[in-house]
Structures are given as structure tokens and as C-alpha cells.
Structure 1
Amino acid sequence: MAWEVLSIIGTIAFAISGAIVAMEEEYDLFGVYLLGIVTAFGGGAIRNILIGLPVSTLWSQEMMFQIAIAAITIFFLVPHQLIKHWHRWGNLTDAIGLSAFAIQGAMYAVSLELPVSAVIVAAILTGSGGGIVRDLLAGRKPIVLREEIYAVWAAGAGLVIGLELVPGDVFLYVLFVVITTLRVLSYMRNWKLPVRKLTMINTKQKAHR
């Protein structure tokens, strides 16, 4: 049951997240649908490629495609005054999608009896893959590559599931809430990973020296 519930939650959340980004970039209706669909299913496609499953397995998820299209349509028709704080909505839906798909990806890898390391990778790619594709198509720097904590939470979910520390569906839902909350806190409180910057010295500066 948790598998289906998390799939639906993640699909809706990432479909809306992609639609929000498309609307921020002033894409037309087709662009809104395209970016929403790509965001919702991009992570699963990347995961399937890396763990050896055919990408065509995505086409069997007809119900999920219908759910994604319905979510995008409803959100597109919502009056602007009701979503005036679109930036917050975008961050929240992205956090929900990250958490739901990270857990789902980890569960998928466990079902294939893959090692813990592969479970963690599957969680990261499934949770953040759609967002990466979304940001690249929108001409943005992917969130996962910024110093802001993002994929670390997906990796944590993968580690917990890979070590079989969640004995049942209830614990999976608790993990979903925890990962979502941590992601929300990380952007609200500006939690960041350590950064080391290299300053490039151009030839003119070298010449003066």
C-alpha cells in the first residue's frame, strides 16, 4: 500500500513543481504540461536506466500519467490570487516529491535485492532526478548541485530503507514526513553543506605580479 500511496503523492507533487517552474519562466500551456510530466517521471526513468530496467516500463503507468495531467490542469486553472506565494508552494511540492520518490526508489531497489549502496543511489536518483531534468530544461542550476542541503535527505532515506530499519508501512509514512520536514527546514533556515571555492586568476593579474 505504501508503494502506491507514495507513487501518487510523488507524482502529484513533482507534476505541480514542474508546472510552477514552467509558469515562472512564462512557458505556454504545452510547456507547462511538458515540464510537469518530465519532472514527475524523469527520476524514475533515470533510475531504471542505471539499475538495468527498460525505460519503457514507465509507459505501463497509465494511471500515474493521468494523475499527473489532472494535477497540472487543476493547478493551471487555480486563480493567481490563491497561489500568490508560488515560491513557497514550489519549495513545498518539491520537498514532498523528493521525499516520496526517494523512499519509493529505495523500496524498488530493495525489491530487486540490490546492495545498500545501490539502494542509496536509487533513492537519490529517483528523488532528485526529475528536479534535475526540470531545472536543466528551464535553464536553471539544479538544486541538487547547490550548497543547499537537498539530495542528502534522499540519501538518508535510502540508507534507512537499505538497512531495513523501517519494518512496516506506518514507519515508511513517518520517514516520509521526517524527510519532507528536514528538506523544508533546510531551505527555510538556509542549512548548507561546506563549500570550497577556487578563485581564478586571469593572465592580466599574473602579468602585474
Structure 2
Amino acid sequence: MTWDILNIIGTIAFAISGAMIAMEEDYDLLGISVLGLTTAFGGGMIRNVLIGIPVHTIWTQYHLFEIALLAIIVVFLLPNMVNRYWIKWGTFFDAIGLAAFSIQGANYAVQSGAPLSAVMIASTLTGVGGGLVRDILAGRKPMIFRSEVYAAWGVLTGLVVGLGWVHGTFEILLLLIVIVTLRMCSVIFKWNLPKHFRGKS
């Protein structure tokens, strides 16, 4: 039940994120819905393709699709209210989604017998793939490549799970708490990965 709740939180957070960006780009209701659903489920679809899970299995999560659509409709009907709460809590819920989906992706890859490198990639793409596709569809530079440390926490999650350091429910929840904490710290303290700075010609 705990895992289901975390998946629901992550799905809602990612769906709202996609819908909010679609509204900023002045999309219509169809565009808002597509971008919201893409953000919420795009990472899982990319993961399935990567590790050989039939893509159509994503449609078995019908209850999550219903929840995501409900969140998108709320954003469309009450944008000002949602934006007010999103500014305050959005990053935290997004961090939960990143951690939960990254762990889920890593576990799927491990269960499929994938090597460590594939586990790390599956973990990362499940956690950030939806946001990456969202930004591309919205014509924006992908946030994961230019904001505070983000995708790296998906890589770390895949490494920890792929090395077999996580087994039971307690260890999974502990890993989730650690990843959420690291993500929030990267936002609060503005941690960034090194960038290349061009000198003046």
C-alpha cells in the first residue's frame, strides 16, 4: 500500500508538471492532456522498450491513468489555485516521483536480468524520461540537463539497486528517503554538476 501511495504521488506530480508547462505554452485541452500524460508515463514506456518489457503493459495501470487525467483536469479548471500550491510543494512531490519511479525502474531491470549498466539507465530513464520528453514536446531545453542535480539521483538509485544493496521493504523506503533528501538538498543549496564555460574569443 505504501508503494502504491508513492506511485500515485509521483504520477500526480509529474502529470501536474506536464500540464502546467503545457498551459504556459498556451496549449489547448488536448495538448495539456497529452503533455501531462507523457510526463507521467513517458519514462515507464522508455524503460519498457529499453529492457524488453512489452510496451502495452503500461496500459494495465488504468487506475493511475484515471488519477493522472483527474489531476490534469483540476489544473485546467483551477490553474491559479494549483499554481499557488505547486510553487510551495511541487518540488517535494516531484522529488518523491523521481525517487519512486527510479527505484521502480531499477527493480524492473534487475528482475529482467539486466546488467548493472542497464539497471542504471533504466532507473534514470524511468525517473526523468517523462520530463525529458515533456520538454522536447514543449520546445524547451530539457530541465534535467540544466537545473540543479536531478538525473544523477536516478543514476545513483540504479547503482544502489543494481549492486544488490536493497532487498526488503525497509531498505527500499530508506533509499527513497535518501534520494528525496538529496534532491531537496540539491534544490535548496543549488548543487550543480560541473559545466563547460567558454572563454571569450
Query: TM-score surpassing 0.5?
Result: yes
Q: Report the Cα distance in structure 1 between the residues aligned to 2:143 and 2:52, rounded to whole angstroms.
A: 26
Q: Residues 72 and 166 (structure 1 numbering): CA distance in 2 closer, same or farther, change over 3 Å?
A: same
Q: Which piece of structure 1 moves more, 108-117 or 90-99?
A: 90-99
Counterpart of 1:129 in structure 2 is 129
The structure number with the bigger radius of gyration is: 1
Q: Report the Cα distance in structure 1 between the residues aligned to 2:177 and 2:114, rounded to whole angstroms.
A: 25
Q: Report the Cα distance in structure 1 between the residues aligned to 2:105 and 2:30, rounded to whole angstroms.
A: 28
Q: Report the Cα distance in structure 2 between the residues aligned to 1:5 and 1:167, rounded to whole angstroms.
A: 20
Q: Which residue identity does 1:7 align to in structure 2?
A: N
Counterpart of 2:154 in structure 1 is 154
Are the aligned partners of 1:102 and 1:127 in contact in 2 as well (CA < 8 Å)?
A: yes
Q: TM-score scaled to structure 2, two decimals?
A: 0.88
Counterpart of 1:206 in structure 2 is none
Counterpart of 1:192 in structure 2 is 192
Counterpart of 2:74 in structure 1 is 74
Count of residues paired in the alignment: 201
SS at match of 2:114: coil
Q: Does 1:30 align with 2:30?
A: yes
In the TM superposition, residue 43 of structure 1 has moved relative to its aligned partner by: 0.4
Are the aligned partners of 2:45 and 2:58 in contact in 1 as well (CA < 8 Å)?
A: yes
Q: Report the Cα distance in structure 1 between the residues aligned to 2:109 and 2:192, rounded to whole angstroms.
A: 28
SS at match of 1:191: coil
Q: Report the Cα distance in structure 1 between the residues aligned to 2:181 and 2:148, rounded to whole angstroms.
A: 15
In the TM superposition, residue 5 of structure 1 has moved relative to its aligned partner by: 4.0
In the TM superposition, residue 108 of structure 1 has moved relative to its aligned partner by: 0.8
User: Structure 1: 5+ residue runs without aligned partners?
Assistant: 202-209
Q: Report the Cα distance in structure 2 between the residues aligned to 1:81 and 1:73, rounded to whole angstroms.
A: 13
Q: Residues 50 and 110 (structure 1 numbering): CA distance in 2 closer, same or farther, change over 3 Å?
A: same
Counterpart of 2:15 in structure 1 is 15
Q: Report the Cα distance in structure 1 between the residues aligned to 2:56 and 2:200, rounded to whole angstroms.
A: 45
SS at match of 1:176: helix
Are the aligned partners of 1:20 and 1:86 in contact in 2 as well (CA < 8 Å)?
A: no
In the TM superposition, residue 78 of structure 1 has moved relative to its aligned partner by: 3.7
Q: Does 1:104 align with 2:104?
A: yes
Counterpart of 2:95 in structure 1 is 95
| Alignment RMSD (CA, Å) | 2.2
In the TM superposition, residue 170 of structure 1 has moved relative to its aligned partner by: 2.3
Cα shift readout 1:165-195 (whole Å, capped 9, x = no counterpart): 2231122122222212211221222111111
User: Structure 2: 5+ residue runs without aligned partners?
Assistant: none
In the TM superposition, residue 147 of structure 1 has moved relative to its aligned partner by: 5.8
Q: Residues 82 and 71 (structure 1 numbering): CA distance in 2 closer, same or farther, change over 3 Å?
A: closer
Q: Which piece of structure 1 moves more, 186-195 or 20-29?
A: 20-29
Counterpart of 1:166 in structure 2 is 166
Q: Report the Cα distance in structure 2 between the residues aligned to 1:51 and 1:35, rounded to whole angstroms.
A: 24
Q: Which piece of structure 1 moves more, 129-138 or 69-78?
A: 69-78
Cα shift readout 1:101-151 (whole Å, capped 9, x = no counterpart): 101101111111222221111100100100001111111111222263111
Are the aligned partners of 1:102 and 1:158 in contact in 2 as well (CA < 8 Å)?
A: yes
Aligned identity (percent) is 54
